[in-house]
Structure 1
Amino acid sequence: MRYKLTKKQKRLMDFLAEFIAEHDHSPSYREIASGLGLKSPASVAEHIDNLVTLGFLKREEGSARSLVIVDRSFPETTELFKQRLEFATDEEVEILQRAAEILGLELESENL
């Protein structure tokens, strides 16, 4: 089933995305703590570890500032679902919705 980020996790992911877009590398734990108003880099490490475990982030081994945001969009699979939904019966739509939820696919509501 799809995991929904907590507010803190979402804030952290948004901060990382903005920082990486601006600087072309990930921030240090101290920079993350400062940017999010947290007191301890240790709490940042805990949040990062959780996001790595959940598959939202990965670390590139042997490199500092190595956090990478995992692309969870699955564009090819999402496109196949959208194409199938165009001609699906009500029963098939229900099945496709459930499958998309399990796979964590982002389908626009107008397709459902």
Structure 2
Amino acid sequence: MTKKSIADKPLSPRQQEVYDFIADFIDSHGYGPSIREIADAFMFVTSTAFKHVETLINKGYLNHKAGGVRTLSLTDKSSKKIAMVSQAGVMNWIEQQSNQHAKDATIYVLLTDLQEGIQTGRIC
């Protein structure tokens, strides 16, 4: 089967479920789920989760940057329009960076100010 014929096939019900999980995860976290998180959500082994992701990529519903972690993103082919970076994702990132840089006062103050600005609406 050629790549073009694979891309023209509709999603199976399970592929749609996996796609919806990934889309919802990106919407709530601001970044894509790991293969392990997909596997855990569906009680798959990791190779099964990987195959579903690979199929969604081949069908044109997902993008993935080689060599990167959490780089799954939605394509224009999807019917859902989800921002690549959500406010929740930014807030999670700020919290992670604050924890990592707690000893560096300058970075910690900047991150804390950024977080407060987003929460109060001063920064949109």
Q: CA deviation at 1:61?
A: 3.0
1:1-112 to 2 correspondence within 5 Å?
Answer: 2-38=8-44, 40-72=45-77
Q: Distance in 2 between matches of 1:14 and 1:73?
A: 10
Paired letter, 2:34: S
Q: CA, structure 1 residues 11+73, in 2 after alignment: closer, same or farther (shift >3 Å)?
A: closer
Partner SS, residue 4 of structure 1: coil
Q: CA deviation at 1:73?
A: 6.0
Equivalent residue pairs, number: 73
Q: Distance in 1 between matches of 2:13 and 2:66?
A: 28
Q: Distance in 1 between matches of 2:60 and 2:32?
A: 17
Using structure 1 for the length normalisation, give the TM-score: 0.59
Unaligned runs of at least 5 residues, structure 1: 75-112
